[in-house]
Structure 1
Amino acid sequence: MSVLELVREDLRDFGGYSSARSAKLQGDIWLNANESAWANPADADAAASCRRYPDPQPQLLRERLADMYGCQPEQLLIGRGSDEAIDLLVRALCMPGRDAVLYTPPVFGMYAVSARLQNAPALEVPLLDTDAGLVPDIDAIIATAKQGNAKLVFLCSPSNPGGLSIPLQQVRAVAEALRGQALVVVDEAYGEFADEASAATLMDRFDNIAVLRTLSKAHALAAARIGSVIADAALIAVLRCCQAPYPIPTPCSTLALSGLGDAALAQTRARITTVRSERSRLCIALSAQRGVRHVYASDANFLLVRFSDAEAAFQTLLQAGVVVRDQRAAPQLQDALRITLGTPEQNDRVLDALATLELTA
Structure 2
Amino acid sequence: MSNPTQSPLLELVRPDLRGFGGYSSARRAGVSGSVWLNANESAWRNPADGGLGANRYPDPQPEVLRARLGTVYGVRADQVLVGRGSDEAIDLLVRALCRPGQDAVVIAPPVFGMYAVSARLQGAPLVEVPLRDGVNGFESDLDAMASAAIAHGAKLVFVCSPANPTGQAIAAADLRDLARRLAGRALVVVDEAYGEYSDQPSLARDIDDQPNLAVLRTLSKAHALAAARIGCLLADASLVQVLRNCQAPYPLPSPCVQLALAGLSEQAQALTRQHVQAVRAERERLRVELASCPGVRRVYPSQGNYLLARFEDAGLAFARLLAAGVVVRDMRASSQLADALRISIGKAEENDAVLAALRAGRAAA
TM-score, length basis structure 1:
0.98
Alignment of 1:252-271 (within 5 A): 252-271=256-275
> Which residue in 1 is equivalent to 2:156?
152
Question: Cα deviation per residue 1:155-191 (whole Å; 9 max; x = unaligned)?
Answer: 0000000111111121112111111100000000000
Using the alignment, how far apart are the partners of 2:30 and 2:117 within structure 1? 36
> Which residue in 1 is equivalent to 2:328?
324
- 1:83 is aligned to 2:83: no
> Which residue in 2 is equivalent to 1:233?
237
User: Secondary structure, in 3 states, of the residue corresponding to 1:95?
Assistant: coil
Using the alignment, how far apart are the partners of 1:57 and 1:358 within structure 2? 54
> Which residue in 2 is equivalent to 1:29?
35
Using the alignment, how far apart are the partners of 1:85 and 1:149 within structure 2? 21
Q: Retained in 1: the 8 A contact 2:167–2:306?
A: yes
Using the alignment, how far apart are the partners of 1:201 and 1:44 within structure 2? 39
Q: Retained in 1: the 8 A contact 2:129–2:144?
A: yes
Aligned counterpart for 1:6 among listed residues 7, 12, 16: 12
Using the alignment, how far apart are the partners of 1:203 and 1:130 within structure 2? 31
Using the alignment, how far apart are the partners of 2:247 and 2:150 within structure 1? 29
Using the alignment, how far apart are the partners of 1:4 and 1:330 within structure 2? 34
Question: Cα deviation per residue 1:44-79 (whole Å; 9 max; x = unaligned)?
Answer: 21xx21100000011111110000000000000000
- 1:282 is aligned to 2:286: yes
Question: Cα deviation per residue 1:78-113 (whole Å; 9 max; x = unaligned)?
Answer: 000000000000000001110000001000000000
> Which residue in 2 is equivalent to 1:38?
44
User: Secondary structure, in 3 states, of the residue corresponding to 1:328?
Assistant: coil
Identity across matched positions, percent:
60
User: Secondary structure, in 3 states, of the residue corresponding to 2:28?
Assistant: coil
User: Secondary structure, in 3 states, of the residue corresponding to 2:342?
Assistant: strand
- 1:169 is aligned to 2:198: no
Aligned counterpart for 1:104 among listed residues 64, 85, 108: 108
Using the alignment, how far apart are the partners of 1:44 and 1:96 within structure 2? 45
Using the alignment, how far apart are the partners of 1:143 and 1:166 within structure 2? 18
- 1:310 is aligned to 2:310: no
Using the alignment, how far apart are the partners of 1:121 and 1:201 within structure 2? 30
Q: Retained in 2: the 8 A contact 1:94–1:151?
A: yes
2:42 is matched by which residue type in structure 1?
S
> Which residue in 1 is equivalent to 2:63?
59
> Unaligned 5+ residue runs, structure 1?
none
Cα offset for 1:360? 4.5
User: Secondary structure, in 3 states, of the residue corresponding to 2:183?
Assistant: coil
- 1:251 is aligned to 2:251: no
> Which residue in 2 is equivalent to 1:95?
99
Using the alignment, how far apart are the partners of 2:78 and 2:363 within structure 1? 57
Using the alignment, how far apart are the partners of 2:169 and 2:337 within structure 1? 19
RMSD of equivalent CA atoms? 0.9
> Which residue in 2 is equivalent to 1:19?
25
Using the alignment, how far apart are the partners of 2:363 and 2:295 within structure 1? 9
Q: Retained in 2: the 8 A contact 1:306–1:336?
A: yes
Count the aligned residue pairs: 359
Moved over 2 A (4+): 358-361
Q: Retained in 1: the 8 A contact 2:294–2:358?
A: no
1:44 is matched by which residue type in structure 2?
G
Question: Cα deviation per residue 1:238-287 (whole Å; 9 max; x = unaligned)?
Answer: 00000000010000000110011111111111000000000000000011
Once the two structures are overlaid, the 10-residue window that deviates more, 195-204 or 289-298, is 195-204
Using the alignment, how far apart are the partners of 1:360 and 1:122 within structure 2? 45
User: Secondary structure, in 3 states, of the residue corresponding to 1:108?
Assistant: coil
Using the alignment, how far apart are the partners of 2:143 and 2:295 within structure 1? 35
1:308 is matched by which residue type in structure 2?
E
Q: Retained in 2: the 8 A contact 1:216–1:222?
A: yes
1:310 is matched by which residue type in structure 2?
A
- 1:128 is aligned to 2:150: no
- 1:298 is aligned to 2:302: yes
Aligned counterpart for 2:183 among listed residues 163, 179, 186: 179
User: Secondary structure, in 3 states, of the residue corresponding to 1:213?
Assistant: strand
Cα offset for 1:204? 2.3
Q: Retained in 2: the 8 A contact 1:312–1:357?
A: no
User: Secondary structure, in 3 states, of the residue corresponding to 1:21?
Assistant: helix
Q: Retained in 1: the 8 A contact 2:189–2:214?
A: yes
1:22 is matched by which residue type in structure 2?
R
Using the alignment, how far apart are the partners of 1:134 and 1:16 within structure 2? 41
Using the alignment, how far apart are the partners of 1:24 and 1:90 within structure 2? 29
Using the alignment, how far apart are the partners of 1:174 and 1:359 within structure 2? 50
